[in-house]
Amino acid sequence: MYVILTSKPGQFRTKVVQGLKPLEAYDYLFYGQTKAHFVIAELLEDSTRIRVIEDDTAIVNDVPSKFLEKFETTQQALEELRHLTTFGHMDTELRKTTLPTS
C-alpha cells in the first residue's frame, strides 16, 4: 500500500518515519509559489504512526496511518495528487523534486 504525506511550509511538516519507504516527492506550486510538499511513500507496516510537526508551536502529533487514504500503486497516488492540485485554468504545477533526507 502507498500513502501521500503532506507538508505545508510555515504550517506543518510530515516526517518520514520507520515503517515508511519514501519513493517520490513533489512540490505543489500555485501561481509560482510553493504551497505544499508531497511524498508518496510505501507503507511497510500497518501500525505505522505518521509524525506531523506544527511549525509555529513545534507540537508533535503521531497520527495512525489507518486515517490516511491508501493506494494500491504509486501511479494511483500520483493521479490523486494531480486531481487535488488542478483547478480549471489556474496556474498550478506539480513539480517532481528530491526525496527528503530525514
pLDDT single digits (tens) 4-24: 999 999 999 999 899 999 999
Ordered by start, the domain boundaries in the chain are: 2-97
- Considering only CA atoms, which of 94, 72, 97 is closest in space to residue 83? 94
**What integer pLDDT is reported at residue 30 of this predicted model?**
93
Q: Report the pLDDT value the prediction gives residue 2, as an integer from 0 to 100.
A: 97
All residues at 6 or more sequence positions from 75 whose CB lies less than 8 Å from its CB, including other chains: none
pTM of the model: 0.90
| Closest C-alpha to 81, from 20, 2, 19, 11 | 2
Rg value, the chain, Cα: 14
What is the three-class DSSP state of 20? strand
**Rounded distance, CA 26 to CA 1, Å?**
19
* Residuewise pLDDT in 10s, the chain (102 residues): 999 999 999 999 999 899 999 999 999 999 999 999 999 999 999 899 999 999 999 999 999 999 999 999 999 999 999 998 888 888 999 999 998 665
